């Protein structure tokens, strides 16, 4: 039997038409990259492109639908046909990744867990990393295969590992979509390979699940910013390396890019959910139904430039010391309290963060019993005379109601004093 040797493969590997196709696809991905480059993992910066802000009137999005969202607040800054149902292609994998990271958070899954590839997972067409039946890979390696190379086979292998079958995993995906308020989404598979009319989403729903993933699990960017990496196939025919090349060309095209996922099929055309971070502001630009890959990336970049050129993010960590509050009829005379959370707000149209007014108010009476975490006041944020948000002030301790004997003792002590 004859053998073939590629420049990035360290050992001989049996000729397999799937491997040859994989090599050709990798070359195409790399050669289609925009020639202007930026500093990614020590690479040289070479660009004449100035990051000039884009006006909304100049965006002229030609793709079927789009959404630009500020991630911390979920504020939609620009949209076109945001609720129109469209085919998501491999952007479907964002939901798959979200469920994977949820399992990691729960501890039911670990990055070094071993996943065995089934014959069904191996049979996936489209974008793949050419896993073989019985091949064992770690969860972390398969995450890289999904995020970087959009591997359908890796996606199905993970779905089967978590839920027992792809069908059961897809049920989990749809339950999660409903819980997130993704009202225009229904999944039929875990990778987006299907052409079913019952597999659909919207630009808004893609932004919603993208936000859930990057806000709750920012470690996703450890993988989505990898430009190239090799994985090792260990199979019955031997050991070999396979090159993963990131499908998201914005990593080379726009310097603030942090991810996230591309997709393309004849039905969906070209899609991308692009994430970026600049000046502590995180943006999500979703493009659905672009006519070609160049438009997909250029219009996502235009949305991001528009967002960063027109918006500022007001953030208040609420790391402040509040006064102690008097408690009536409690075993303690007072309680300490804290803000329940921080607060953030997207400012546009040239508004300044300094123009936001912060007002603190407390309940007139606090009567025991008081549970820890009970609301005892609120912080109100006002911009140009209009309320833009509130944060509860909560008790930082529990205070039980004083009984008769305790109350009598306190009265006696106060009398003596």
Active-site residue list:
90, 93, 150
Give the residue carrying structure tokens 């479907």.
92
Give the residue carrying structure tokens 């875990």.
190
Sign for the pseudo-dihedral over CA of 159, 164, 167, 169? negative
Sign for the pseudo-dihedral over CA of 117, 120, 123, 128? negative
Distance CA 58, CA 53 (A): 10
- CA-wise closest residue to 111 among 10, 217, 216: 217
Give yes or no for a cis peptide into 260 (omega within 30° of 0). yes
DSSP-based three-state secondary structure for 43: coil
Distance CA 270, CA 290 (A): 5
Sign for the pseudo-dihedral over CA of 305, 311, 312, 317? negative
Please tell me what DSSP assigns to residue 400.
P
DSSP-based three-state secondary structure for 71: coil
User: Rounded to the nearest 5°, which phi and psi values hold at 235?
Assistant: -130, 180
Distance CA 264, CA 88 (A): 8
The answer to whether 249 touches 33, Cβ cutoff 8 Å, is yes
409's torsion region: left (phi>0), alpha (psi -120 to 50) or beta?
alpha
Cα 401 to Cα 246, 333, 361: the distances in Å are 61, 11, 24
DSSP-based three-state secondary structure for 227: coil
The answer to whether 78 touches 59, Cβ cutoff 8 Å, is yes
């Amino acid at each position: 039997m004859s053998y073939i040797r590629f420049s990035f493969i360290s050992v001989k590997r049996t000729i397999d038409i799937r491997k040859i196709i994989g090599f050709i696809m990798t070359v195409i991905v790399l050669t289609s990259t925009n020639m202007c480059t930026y500093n990614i993992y020590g690479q040289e910066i070479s660009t004449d492109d100035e990051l000039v802000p884009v006006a909304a009137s100049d965006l002229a999005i030609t793709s079927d639908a789009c959404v630009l969202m500020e991630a911390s607040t979920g504020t939609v800054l620009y949209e076109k046909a945001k609720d129109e149902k469209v085919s998501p292609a491999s952007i479907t994998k964002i939901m798959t990744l979200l469920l994977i990271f949820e399992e990691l958070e729960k501890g039911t899954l670990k990055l070094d867990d071993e996943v065995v590839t089934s014959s069904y997972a191996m049979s996936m067409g489209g974008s793949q990393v050419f896993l073989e039946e019985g091949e064992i890979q770690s969860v972390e390696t398969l995450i890289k295969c999904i995020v970087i190379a959009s591997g359908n086979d890796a996606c199905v292998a993970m779905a089967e590992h978590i839920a027992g079958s792809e069908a059961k995993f897809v049920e989990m995906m749809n339950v999660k979509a409903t819980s997130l308020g993704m009202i225009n989404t229904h999944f039929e598979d875990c990778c987006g390979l299907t052409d079913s009319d019952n597999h659909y989403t919207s630009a808004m729903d893609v932004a919603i699940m993208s936000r859930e993933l990057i806000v709750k699990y920012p470690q996703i960017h450890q993988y989505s910013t990898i430009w190239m990496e090799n994985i090792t196939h260990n199979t019955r025919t031997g050991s070999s390396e396979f090159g993963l090349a990131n499908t998201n060309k914005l990593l080379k095209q726009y310097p603030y890019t942090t991810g996230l996922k591309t997709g393309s099929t004849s039905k969906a055309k070209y899609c991308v959910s692009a994430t970026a971070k600049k000046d502590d502001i995180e943006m999500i630009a979703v493009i659905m139904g672009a006519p070609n890959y160049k438009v997909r990336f250029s219009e996502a970049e235009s949305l991001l430039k528009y967002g960063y050129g027109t918006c500022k993010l007001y953030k208040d960590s609420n790391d402040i010391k509040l006064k102690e509050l008097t408690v009536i009829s409690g075993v303690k005379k007072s309680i300490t309290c804290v803000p329940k959370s921080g607060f953030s707000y997207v400012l546009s149209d040239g508004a300044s963060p300094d123009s936001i007014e912060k007002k603190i108010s407390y309940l007139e009476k606090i009567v025991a019993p008081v549970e820890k975490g009970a609301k005892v006041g609120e912080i109100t944020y006002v911009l140009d005379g209009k309320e833009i948000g509130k944060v509860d002030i909560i008790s930082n301790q529990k205070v039980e109601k004083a009984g008769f004997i305790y109350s009598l003792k306190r009265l006696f002590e106060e009398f003596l004093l």
